[in-house]
């Protein structure tokens, strides 16, 4: 409490926007287009450089991370229970795909809608609290969903998990992960664009305003709770989109998708990538998924040691995250040049 090490004042959980109250950090136009082009090129190349199955996981986790950042970075709410939406959608997607034989995008859509539906009551209750309480409340509700899935064996198959989720798409053979990657890429890009659109819309500006000064937002007449709830439901939908694709990608759903460690991992992916940077979450997802795959490939058992270690190190030493650090350095250079 006293004599804490010197930390720059701007390093709070909700990074202060660089200028003005309601702005969202944006690089100059040509930089943004160059980055976007580079990102698309990397996305198109990815399954050629990595195991396609890992590339598929990266796409799913990218959506998951962005959904968490939408709340953490742009609304100032840390959901520690997003596995509830990711996992619920995984189960619903799996069940729809198995029992209705719909093409996989329809099953994923059903899953994501179910996640959004679940986000409504959970969000309604959770937005009554803020800060650390919000994290605890969401964590608790996610655990409740986990217990229900664990007990409801007739539907979820309990510990055995849902097996044989089909990759049905109008008879096209998508059993090869390489082709499946390209089949889901448009869906993931759409999801990420939707998140980007939300952040840069008038609605998104209000969210940032609420994040930075809830009292002022309320005084200006914005129904703060309703805005937070809308953001929560949208975020639940995006997390569900990722979870549904994850279920089809693995052809299998286990209780792990609802576990609290999954919620925690999503948060640390965002912190590693950079809170409030949106694309940072994509980077973080790529790094963490790749690292975990490499660890399990090399026969390392105690993955928790590594994930936990990343948690501790990132929180202690690297709170801006990758994207945040790069943006910070770029801004500093630009400011120096102006002087």
Partner 1 sequence: MSGFLQNTFNGLVGGAFYALLALGLAVIFGMLRVVNFAHGAFYMLGAFGAYVLLAEAGVPFWAALVIMPLALGLLGMVLERAVIHRLTRLDPLYNFLLTFGLTLILQDLVKSRYGVQSSPYATPAELSGTVDFGLFDFPTYRVFILGFTVLLCVAVWWVLGRTRVGMVVRAATERPELTRAFGIDVGRWVTPVFGFGIALAGLAGVLAAPMRAVNPLMGADLIIVVFAVVVIGGLGSIFGSVAAGFGIGLIQAWGEAYLSDFPIVSQTVVFVVMAAVLLWRPAGLFGREEAPA
What CA–CA distance (Å, rounded) separates 19 from 16?
8
Asked whether position 215 contacts partner 1 by CB under 8 A, the answer is no
Residue 4 in contact with partner 1, rule: CB under 8 A: yes
| Residues in region 59-88 near partner 1 by CB under 8 A | 78, 80
Binding of partner 1 by 316 (CB under 8 A):
yes
What whole-number distance in Å separates Cα of residue 233 and Cα of residue 16?
24
What is the full DSSP assignment across 296-315?
Answer: HHTT---HHHHHHHHHHHHH
Residue closer to partner 1 by CB (options 7, 19) is 7
Residue 225 is a binding residue for partner 1 (CB under 8 A): no
Which one among 95, 285, 310, 327 touches partner 1, defined by CB under 8 A?
310
If the CB atoms of residues 129 and 251 are measured against partner 1, the closer one turns out to be 129
Distance, in Å, from the CA atom of 85 to the CA atom of 216, rounded to the nearest integer, reads 31
Map residues 127-166 to x or -, x wherever contact with partner 1 holds by CB under 8 A.
-xxxxxx-xxx-xxx-xx--xx--xx--------------
By three-state DSSP, how is residue 162 classified? strand
Answer for which of 46, 187, 217, 271 binds partner 1 (CB under 8 A) is: 271
Per CB under 8 A, does 52 bind partner 1? no
Residues in contact with 294: Cβ distance below 8 Å, sequence separation at least 6, in sequence order? none
Quick check: 256 binds partner 1 (CB under 8 A)? no
Of residues 101 and 131, the one with the C-beta less far from partner 1: 131
Report, in Å, the least distance between residue 261 CB and partner 1.
Answer: 7
Which residue matches tokens 């997390």?
A: 239
Q: Is 298 in the site for partner 1 (CB under 8 A)?
A: no
Please provide the DSSP assignment of 200-216 as one string: TSHHHHHHHHHHH-HHH
Q: How many CB atoms are located within 10 Å of the residue 180 CB?
A: 24
Decide: 240 and 86 in contact? Cβ < 8 Å: yes
- Side-chain-side CA neighbours of 55 within 13 Å: the count stands at 21
The one among 203, 311, 318, 326 contacting partner 1 by CB under 8 A: 311
Question: What are the beta bridge partners of residue 162?
Answer: 253
**CB of 182 or CB of 311, closer to partner 1:** 311
Neighbour count for residue 46 (Cβ, 10 Å): 19
Binding footprint of partner 1 on the chain (CB under 8 A): 1-5, 7, 11-14, 78, 80, 125-126, 128-133, 135-137, 139-141, 143-144, 147-148, 151-152, 260-261, 264, 267-268, 271, 301-305, 307-312, 315-316, 319
């Amino acid at each position: 409490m006293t004599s804490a090490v010197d930390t720059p004042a701007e390093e709070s959980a909700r990074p202060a926007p660089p200028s003005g109250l309601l702005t969202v950090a944006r690089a100059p136009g040509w930089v943004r287009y160059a980055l976007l082009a580079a990102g698309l090129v990397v996305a198109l190349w990815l399954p050629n450089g990595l195991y396609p199955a890992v590339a598929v996981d990266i796409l799913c986790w990218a959506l998951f991370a962005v959904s968490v950042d939408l709340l953490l970075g742009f609304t100032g709410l840390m959901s520690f229970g997003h596995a509830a939406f990711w996992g619920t959608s995984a189960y619903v997607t799996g069940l729809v795909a198995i029992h209705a034989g719909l093409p996989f995008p329809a099953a994923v859509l059903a899953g994501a809608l179910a996640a959004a539906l679940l986000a409504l009551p959970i969000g309604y209750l959770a937005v009554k609290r803020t800060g650390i309480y919000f994290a605890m409340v969401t964590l608790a509700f996610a655990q409740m969903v986990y217990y229900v899935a664990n007990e409801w064996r007739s539907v979820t198959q309990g510990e055995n998990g849902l097996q044989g989720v089909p990759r049905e798409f109008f008879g096209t053979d998508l059993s090869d992960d390489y082709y499946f990657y390209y089949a889901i890429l448009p869906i993931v890009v759409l999801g990420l664009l939707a998140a980007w659109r939300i952040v840069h819309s008038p609605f998104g500006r209000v969210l940032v305003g609420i994040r930075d000064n809830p009292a002022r937002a309320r005084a200006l007449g914005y129904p703060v709770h309703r805005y937070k709830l809308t953001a929560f439901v949208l975020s639940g939908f995006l997390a569900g989109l990722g979870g549904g694709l994850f279920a089809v990608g693995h052809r299998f759903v286990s209780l792990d998708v609802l576990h609290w460690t999954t919620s925690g991992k999503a948060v640390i992916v965002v912190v590693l990538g950079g809170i409030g940077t949106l694309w940072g979450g994509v980077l973080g997802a790529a790094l963490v998924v790749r690292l975990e795959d490499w660890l399990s490939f090399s026969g390392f058992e105690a993955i928790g040691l590594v994930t936990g270690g990343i948690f501790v190190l990132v929180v202690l030493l690297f709170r801006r995250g990758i994207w945040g650090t790069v943006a910070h350095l770029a801004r500093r250079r630009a400011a120096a040049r102006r002087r």
